[in-house]
Structure 1
């Protein structure tokens, strides 16, 4: 379970980074932390202000991190991870900024970069989620799915950022991940569809503390999730299937429609 203070994880780099980036934001400068050991998911060294018309790998990373702010209301829209800063990305940045008390101008400068970095953790996960919560329940970790473990891990990272947005919109309520990645064997044993988004690491079954599944579904409708299982279960399934057309599920699937 992901609680606001992450009890049991101590005064780790998550707490430290929040302090560092808070000071950086107050000073109007970006904070850059050396986390090379975390690989491609390490702290991002934002090197320029990003706004409409910009393009590049840093824009794609920005899109990953604000993807959960895709819409102001229930809409089948998402933020493409295409590295091109257009109106949709600007809108997501504005909503992110407003939610975190920043000037909502749609321009990702030092204060926005610092706030984005405060959502990171030293191991490449995010402030309120950790890798083990998404491991296959049969002990396979991120292995034995339909794609390699490194690809699964990156997919989970992108999912985490959408879940951070969902958590923020739920008032900071803790989020329990009942099921994240599933190995092919575990998915079959669980009765999952053979091409379930779980076997790629792009899906999560979650419960939000203090919120009904219907309430969670409604929040998820604003977070760029293209796959939503019916809210009649005791958990809410969310996934990003449309953003992974090579996985074979390129169509929107909101089982309960728009509510």
Structure 2
């Protein structure tokens, strides 16, 4: 799915007073403010290939969402449970990055690598819930969506961050801010309806890597919201998946 719309700085300011409906990228996590139910290796149910559909394809798309393109492009992978050409291409990019046979088919080896990205508590290999929940409350409650939806949105964000981490040379990504409840968001001057309150945004830094470099690689990870790279952190979010336009504040770099 693509969208060529871009935000100007003035539009960004207007969003401080914008209200967004109760949107979520899903509600697959359990209700409550703490950890999701333990996750086991996903039961893929056989080889996945173009033409397949269903819950296994949906989970596949969540896990490869950070591989929608090989160069800067305003495109994200739709999580629609349909294994079409865009999913095929994202699988190929994932396979190439992880040293697998590149055929766009999700067989045992690719499934094993996808499962290795998931930890038993439902988070991902290199990110913990505690890095991305509200730092004041240690929970996912009090945001723009239910705690369960916020946590699921964070889980999906984590997989995009896993892809970004690989593209940055497998260097650790340090999270400054992930999900914020509404009060916390207001206290730090966040915009009304911030993607942080949905669990779909992160502020970060990577030791030894410039923010410009992070920004450039994030342009290939399906992030539709990118704050300018000249601040003291790099903000990424998935706002286009919530019905908003694309906002790359520094443009295409």
Do these two structures clear the TM 0.5 threshold for a shared fold by scoring above it? Answer: yes
Could you list the per-position Cα deviations for residues 158-193 of structure 1 after superposition, in whole angstroms to 9, with x for gaps in the alignment?
Answer: 000000000011111010000000010000000000
Alignment of 1:193-212 (within 5 A): 193-212=191-210
Query: Out of 170, 183, 186, which is 1:185 matched to?
Result: 183
Q: Is the 8 A contact 2:44 2:56 kept in 1?
A: yes
Please list every run of 5 or more consecutive structure 1 residues that lacks an aligned counterpart in the other structure. Answer: 1-36
Q: Is the 8 A contact 1:38 1:122 kept in 2?
A: no
Q: Is the 8 A contact 1:178 1:206 kept in 2?
A: yes
C-alpha displacement at 1:138, in angstroms?
A: 1.8
- Distance in structure 2 (CA, Å) of the matches to 1:38 and 1:159: 15
Q: Is the 8 A contact 1:173 1:210 kept in 2?
A: no
- Distance in structure 2 (CA, Å) of the matches to 1:41 and 1:241: 27
C-alpha displacement at 1:230, in angstroms?
A: 0.5
Q: Is the 8 A contact 1:145 1:184 kept in 2?
A: yes
Cα RMSD over matched residues? Answer: 1.3
**Which runs of 4 or more aligned residues in structure 1 lie more than 4 Å from their structure 2 counterparts after TM superposition?**
none
Higher helix share: 1
Q: What is residue 73 of structure 1 aligned with on the other side?
A: 71
With a CA cutoff of 8 Å and minimum separation of 6, indicate the structure with the bigger relative contact order.
2
SS in 2 for 1:39: coil
C-alpha spacing 1:40/1:146, structure 2 compared with 1 (3 Å): farther
Q: Is the 8 A contact 1:207 1:213 kept in 2?
A: yes
Aligned residues: 219
C-alpha displacement at 1:43, in angstroms?
A: 3.0
Query: Out of 203, 214, 217, which is 1:216 matched to?
Result: 214
C-alpha spacing 1:206/1:223, structure 2 compared with 1 (3 Å): same
Q: Is the 8 A contact 2:130 2:138 kept in 1?
A: no
Could you list the per-position Cα deviations for residues 93-115 of structure 1 after superposition, in whole angstroms to 9, with x for gaps in the alignment?
Answer: 00100111101111111100000
Q: What is residue 251 of structure 2 aligned with on the other side?
A: 257
Please list every run of 5 or more consecutive structure 2 residues that lacks an aligned counterpart in the other structure. Answer: 1-34
Alignment of 1:159-170 (within 5 A): 159-170=157-168
Query: Out of 101, 118, 121, which is 1:120 matched to?
Result: 118
C-alpha displacement at 1:140, in angstroms?
A: 4.9
SS in 2 for 1:62: helix
Query: Out of 87, 91, 96, which is 2:85 matched to?
Result: 87
Q: What is residue 241 of structure 2 aligned with on the other side?
A: 243
SS in 2 for 1:237: strand
Alignment of 1:129-168 (within 5 A): 129-168=127-166
Could you list the per-position Cα deviations for residues 24-79 of structure 1 after superposition, in whole angstroms to 9, with x for gaps in the alignment?
Answer: xxxxxxxxxxxxx9538543111121111111111111000000011100011110
* Worse-superposed segment, 40-49 or 169-178: 40-49
- Distance in structure 1 (CA, Å) of the matches to 2:184 and 2:135: 7
